[in-house]
Amino acid sequence: MTDSIIKLTAAQIAAKIASGELTAVQVTEAHLARIEAVDEKVHAFLHVDREGALAQARAVDEKKARGEKLGPLAGVPLALKDIFTTVGIPTTVGSKILEGWIPPYDATLTKRLKDADVVILGKTNMDEFAMGSSTENSAYGPTGNPWDLTRIPGGSGGGSSASLASYQAPLAIGTDTGGSIRQPAAVTGTVGVKPTYGAVSRYGMVAFSSSLDQGGPCARTVLDAALLHEVIAGHDPLDSTSIDAPVPPVVEAARNGSVAGMRVGVVKQFRGEGYQAGVVQRFDESVALLKELGAEIVELDCPSFDLALAAYYLIAPSECSSNLARFDGLRYGLRTGDDGTNSAEAVTSLTREAGFGPEVKRRIMLGTYALSSGYYDAYYGSAQKVRTLITRDFEKSFEKVDVIVSPTTPTTAFPIGERADDPMAMYLADLCTIPTNLAGNAAMSLPCGLAPEDGLPVGLQIIAPALKDDRLYKVGAAVEAAFVEKWGHPLLEEAPSL
């Protein structure tokens, strides 16, 4: 029975719990059994909250027994990226500097999940402080890609994407600073959405780069992602960057997918040198499919996109150097060298040396330099000007088209260790995703086939204007349905079993 439960979509699970065909406890136990069976190989989870998850599931069943109305995802299990604070269970952000830290409060997103009766299974592995594209920067070891455990599951949210692709959870939460929801989705054959900046509260989400960070839904289908999006989105007075606007009708869009009459843009800067042949082939086939489904294809030229990577790697490290200053060994988390012989400054220095990993140190140093006196205007100031140019290119493009499509990543999943000693090669994994974060638009990645040369998943990225997140789901659902009709089953079912 476990196998039949874990292969269900979140929407199917919710419907079966509501009808009484399954109990929330049965569903939770099935997924906990799956975690116990395969996660030693995958390493998607940093912490599994078995007792907490079963308690949440029992509460859902009791609520149903009392005749109370259940929400659209009541009783559905979820894997939560270990960057959101959670009362009673650790939040480490993939770092030794917060090893074992138990937060005294829930993030707004965590609270909304609990209020919606979603069952939180545990916390997933990630690149330390969300800095990376492979989950190799986790202080607790890398996560494997369920398609090929010797390859990366993307980053920084590789634990969340791997939990979906290995059927350990039907839903997951990620965060996206430069592509950390979409890139993992692409290389694991799953669906990941970066909502409009400010659409999902950042209160209780440990900050990396405050003007770029955005939480969002991860799932195996477009509808499941929409149902989760609707639960977590909405204005939060505790977050000063939260948008006070209605949540777009994302579930309705996912249930009524269509591209007929839509104008779909293809940006010429999102292809060329460095793009894997199989990725380009599958993208071109997706564009042809969109045209076949009734969309008008429009060629776009966005010259500033070529500068996005450089601008991002000045803005994000600059904000990270400011945000991570709070980890000083004096207030919470790791403390090293406090033996009575060292000054407070020395304790802070020793703690950071022991607690931060190489990539975090690299970005802190780069950001501190970019913000330093004499260099601020030349580096950080110039990067912000480029950010404005990128935003203007998007604005001009969205005057001509309804959505933009591109490959999500230039390549399929690369082997673990292949780019570990080459930061620039690693950074190129986010080439297609970064412009959206700089502009604050909404974007989605969904599977569009397997690359012929290696048989690994390829992601199609859909980008929509700010606050038009429903367009992602409308187009994504249409593409997904067309793929299912052509091949008879979701692409993810081709993933090798563990």
Residue appearing with tokens 């991860």: 218
Give the C-alpha separation, 42 to 149, whole Å.
Answer: 7
Single out the residue of 465, 470, 472, 426 nearest to residue 445, CA to CA: 472
Give the C-alpha separation, 348 to 371, whole Å.
Answer: 21
Start-to-end CA distance of the chain, whole Å, equals: 17
50-65 helix and 24-42 helix, angle to the nearest 10 degrees:
160
Checking phi first, is residue 54 left (phi over 0); if not, alpha (psi -120 to 50) or beta?
alpha
Give the C-alpha separation, 193 to 251, whole Å.
Answer: 13
Set 81, 123, 194, 474: catalytic member: 81
Set 180, 201, 242, 445: catalytic member: 180
Residue type, 380: Y
The CA–CA distances, whole Å, from 489 to 3, 196, 430, 484, 494 equal 17, 30, 29, 5, 9
Give the C-alpha separation, 21 to 147, whole Å.
Answer: 31
Residue type, 32: L
Q: What's the angle, vertex CA 51, arms to CA 45 and CA 54, rounded to 5?
A: 95
The CA–CA distances, whole Å, from 476 to 203, 293, 484 equal 29, 12, 12
Set 133, 156, 321, 406: catalytic member: 156
Q: What is the gyration radius of the CA atoms in the chain, in angstroms?
A: 21
**CB within 8 A of 416, min separation 6: which ones?**
134, 136, 142, 144, 150, 151, 152
Give the C-alpha separation, 315 to 370, whole Å.
Answer: 9
**CB within 8 A of 56, min separation 6: which ones?**
24, 28, 114, 117, 119, 120
180 is catalytic: yes
CA 88 to chain CA mean position, Å: 24
Single out the residue of 396, 398, 376 nearest to residue 388, CA to CA: 396
- Residues annotated as part of the active site: 81, 156, 180
